[in-house]
């Protein structure tokens, strides 16, 4: 009797081996599952998935790296290693409208994924409205995985502050222009197929107009003191080192305006033909808004025939006065140079 039972059990086991009989219950919509072979591999491994009894429904596979497939049977090769990938099976039953999901994981290489890293540059970081800004993301991945990029920007001020906007494009370089002045935060997110990601941001200032950063004015002329060519009553009152200059003063006046603080250089040089030994030329920088002298200098032969002033000037109207105080005919050259200190906040306030 025992012998007959042993023979029967052996026959069942042999049949099971020949027909791949499985003791695991068949998958159902209430208990969805699928098979994946193998469950470990590397960049060259071809993985096979099998929906089994659920193959009679509409089956969609998501391999976790952006690759999709359909049907009860599918296969996929990842092409990279060192990570754990999640495979998702989505089953739809058109008759009942039900949808069920099941997941399994496969291990690639050592199974440990190295996160990517990214840095971001915006050029220029201060731009005018509607002018393009070049965006460059420098990303790296320790596993040399393929990377995907997501670009967004956020308005930092104004009525639209805090709103995230997607910038089209998935490559590591991009471009954008803004249609309104303000501050913007640009963000790039970089992700590998195994879920590792990194992100970084940079700020971009936008103005309606960015003024020129320098102001250059050049003038030249001739002054002949004592001919009343350019004499005004006020010119007899100018202050200069002793000895007191000739009261017959001829002068040339030049005005300029600074909309922003600036470092200014006023430089005067001339052809000195005077032999009278008195103060023959002077240079004055005057704040025209306050009528106060910022700088004045006199010159007497035989010192070098030039005068200059370098100063930090605040916004306002200015006047440069070149004077001749002898009877000599003097040719001169005048340079006014200003380096403007521009900031996005100051420019946007002025433009507003």
Of the candidates 146, 196, 195, which has an alpha carbon nearest to the alpha carbon of residue 172? 146
Task: Tell me, yes or no, whether 202 and 219 share the same domain.
Answer: no
Do 194 and 229 lie in one domain? The reply is no
The pLDDT of 237-258, averaged and rounded, is: 64
Contacts of 116 (CB under 8 A, 6+ apart): 139, 140, 141, 142, 145, 147, 190, 191, 192, 196, 197, 198
Classified as helix, coil or strand, 2 is helix
Domain boundary (108, 135, 153) is at 108
- Render pLDDT for 251-305 as a digit per residue (tens, 0 to 9): 888 999 999 999 999 999 988 665 655 557 788 999 999 999 998 887 665 567 8
Instruction: Give CA–CA dist 100/151, Å, rounded.
Output: 32
Residue 36 confidence (pLDDT) above 60: yes
Q: Are strands 281-287 and 214-224 parallel, antiparallel or unpaired?
A: unpaired
In this structure, the answer to whether residues 223 and 325 fall within a common structural domain is: yes
**Could you tell me if 202 and 218 lie in one domain?**
no
| Same domain assignment for residues 323 and 260 | yes
pLDDT in tens, 309-339: 999 999 999 999 988 776 667 889 999 999 9
- Beta-ladder partners of 317: 257
Q: What percent of the chain has a predicted confidence (pLDDT) above 70? A: 80
The residue behind tokens 């704040």 is 287
Instruction: Note whether 338 and 226 are same-domain residues.
Output: yes
- Copy the structure tokens of residue 77: 């090769």
- Determine the distance from the C-alpha atom of residue 333 to the mean position of all C-alpha atoms in its chain, rounded to a whole number: 43
What is the CATH number for 339? 2.60.120.380
What is the distance in angstroms between the CA of the first residue and the CA of the last residue of the chain? 104
**Least confident range of 115-119, 204-208, 251-255:** 251-255
> Can you tell me the mean pLDDT for 219-225?
83
Q: Given 108, 125, 145, which residue is the final one in a domain?
A: 108
Task: Report if pTM > 0.95.
Answer: no
Q: Is residue 9 part of a domain?
A: no
Place of tokens 């990029």: 149
Torsion over CA: 67, 71, 77, 82 (sign): positive
DSSP state of 19: T
Tell me, rounded to whole angstroms, the distance of Cα 56 from its chain centroid: 52
Domain with 323 in it: 214-344
Q: What CATH number corresponds to the domain at position 200? A: 2.60.40.10
Give the span between the Cα atoms of 246 and 253, in whole angstroms: 19
- The whole-number pLDDT of residue 274 equals 59
Please state, in angstroms and rounded to a whole number, the distance separating the CA atoms of residues 120 and 172: 10
pLDDT of residue 349: 87
Q: Give the integer Cα–Cα distance in Å for 132 and 135.
A: 10
Q: Among 55-64, 130-139, 148-157, 297-306, whose mean pLDDT is lowest?
A: 297-306
CA-to-CA distance for 131 and 179, rounded, in angstroms? Answer: 9
183 pairs with which residues across the strands? 205
Residue 8 has pLDDT above 70, yes or no: no
State the average pLDDT over residues 236-265.
71
User: At residue 134, does pLDDT exceed 90?
Assistant: yes
Same domain, 30 and 122: no
């Amino acid at each position: 009797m025992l012998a007959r039972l042993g023979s029967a059990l052996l026959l069942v086991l042999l049949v099971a081996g020949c027909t791949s009989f499985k003791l695991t219950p068949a998958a159902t919509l209430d208990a969805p599952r699928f098979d994946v072979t193998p469950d470990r591999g590397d960049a060259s491994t071809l993985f096979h998935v099998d929906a089994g009894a659920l193959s009679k429904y509409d089956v969609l596979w998501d391999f976790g790296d952006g690759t999709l497939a359909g049907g009860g049977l599918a296969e996929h090769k990842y092409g990279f290693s060192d990570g754990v990938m999640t495979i998702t099976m989505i089953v739809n039953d058109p008759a009942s409208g039900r949808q069920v999901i099941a997941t399994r994981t496969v291990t690639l290489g050592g199974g440990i994924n190295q996160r990517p890293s990214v840095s971001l540059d915006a050029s220029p970081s201060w731009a005018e409205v509607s002018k393009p800004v070049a965006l460059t993301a420098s990303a790296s991945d320790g596993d040399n995985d393929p990377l995907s990029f997501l670009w967004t920007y956020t308005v930092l001020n104004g009525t639209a502050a805090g709103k995230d906007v997607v910038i089209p494009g998935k490559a590591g370089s991009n471009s954008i222009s803004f249609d309104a002045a303000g501050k913007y935060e640009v963000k790039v997110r970089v992700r590998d197929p195994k879920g590792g990601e990194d992100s970084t941001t940079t700020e971009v200032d936008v103005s309606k107009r960015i003024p020129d950063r320098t102001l250059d004015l050049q003038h030249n002329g001739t002054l002949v003191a004592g001919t009343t060519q350019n004499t005004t009553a006020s010119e007899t009152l100018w202050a200069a080192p002793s000895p007191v200059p000739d009261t017959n003063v001829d002068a040339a006046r030049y005005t300029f305006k600074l909309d922003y603080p600036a470092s200014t250089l006023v430089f005067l040089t001339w052809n000195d033909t005077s032999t009278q030994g008195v103060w023959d030329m002077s240079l004055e920088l005057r704040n025209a808004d306050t009528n106060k002298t910022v700088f004045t200098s006199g010159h007497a032969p035989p010192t070098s025939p030039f005068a200059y002033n370098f100063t930090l000037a605040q916004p306002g109207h200015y006047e440069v006065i070149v004077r001749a105080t002898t009877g000599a005919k003097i040719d001169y050259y005048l340079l006014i140079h200003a380096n403007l200190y521009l900031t996005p906040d100051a420019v946007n306030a002025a433009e507003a």
